[in-house]
Amino acid sequence: MVAHLLELSFFISAWMLVASGCLSYLAFVRDVSREVPLIELVLVVRDFLDMFPTNLPGLPPERDIDFLIDLESGTRPISIPPYQMAPAELNGLSVQLQDLLAKGFNRPSVSPWGVPILLVKKKDGTMRMCISYRQLNKVTVKNRYPLPRIDDLFDQLQGASVFSKIDLTFGYHQLRIQVADIPKTTFRTRYGHYEFLVMSFGLTNAHAAFMDLMTRVFRPYVDSFAIIFIDDILIYLGSRGDHEKHFRVVLQT
């Protein structure tokens, strides 16, 4: 009885706000925790299945821009000993290092730079390797490339009724690091000294650099039928026919 009264009270309050002219948004919430999405069921995507790999196969192609690490004047190499790790953590670290090496994302290093790493447990119980770039970030010149305002993005969606969202897999690993800055990414482990050849999570300017890359790639479509926010792409339009055409354009870019 109490639950029904609360629902009725909420409905009346919402109706009064809408009637008074307040801007309203309708959201549908669905529990998808048990659903297993099948990308093959998306008609347009069937022609581009090679663009949706489970894992990145190797180094990304060379692009117009690389990730830069500009440091404040007078900065000396930062070198911090590795953290102590439990045996279970070391096992997880060894597996992840082998995976990164196999893909060519990092390589052994003799750099004077070096920061420690730690492992953080994910929701599924596996460990995620996190590199402690805090000291490096403190002396890195900040990239002030602007991120889109959320309210501006919502304004672009007014009148749209069909949406498709693409989330890039390991997006940061799809941008190479400038050769001269590779030694600055070095991290230390019990199993050796390694440096990244692709942009790593935890670097202070990673968001800005990737936003810059994505905007350059999809600039002709921004504010027309696509919204870009770092490594997320939202394709929107009022009719399904044109939407499928624009979806293909984005996948072909």
Q: What is the pLDDT of residue 2?
A: 46
- The CA-atom distances, in angstroms, between 159 and each of 28, 127, 162 are 17, 42, 10
Nearest Cα neighbor of 230 from 201, 195, 253 is 201
Helices (H), the chain: 2-19, 87-103, 134-138, 150-156, 206-218, 240-252
As a whole number of angstroms, the distance between CA 206 and CA 130 comes to 14
Task: Answer for the pair 136, 78: CB distance below 8 angstroms, yes or no.
Answer: yes
Q: What is the pLDDT of residue 91?
A: 85
- Residue 230 amino acid letter: I
pLDDT in tens, the chain (253 residues): 444 455 656 666 776 776 777 777 666 666 655 555 565 556 676 677 677 767 777 788 888 889 999 999 999 999 999 999 888 888 889 999 999 999 999 999 999 999 999 888 877 777 888 999 999 999 999 999 988 888 888 888 888 888 888 888 777 888 999 999 999 999 999 999 999 999 998 899 999 999 999 899 889 888 888 888 888 888 888 666 687 888 888 888 7
Q: In the β-sheet with 192-196, what is the strand arrangement from edge to edge?
A: 106-108, 192-196, 187-189
99 strand-pairing partners: none
List the end-to-end C-alpha distance of the chain, in Å, as a whole number: 55
Q: What domains does the chain contain, in order, with CATH numbers?
A: 39-252 (3.10.10.10)
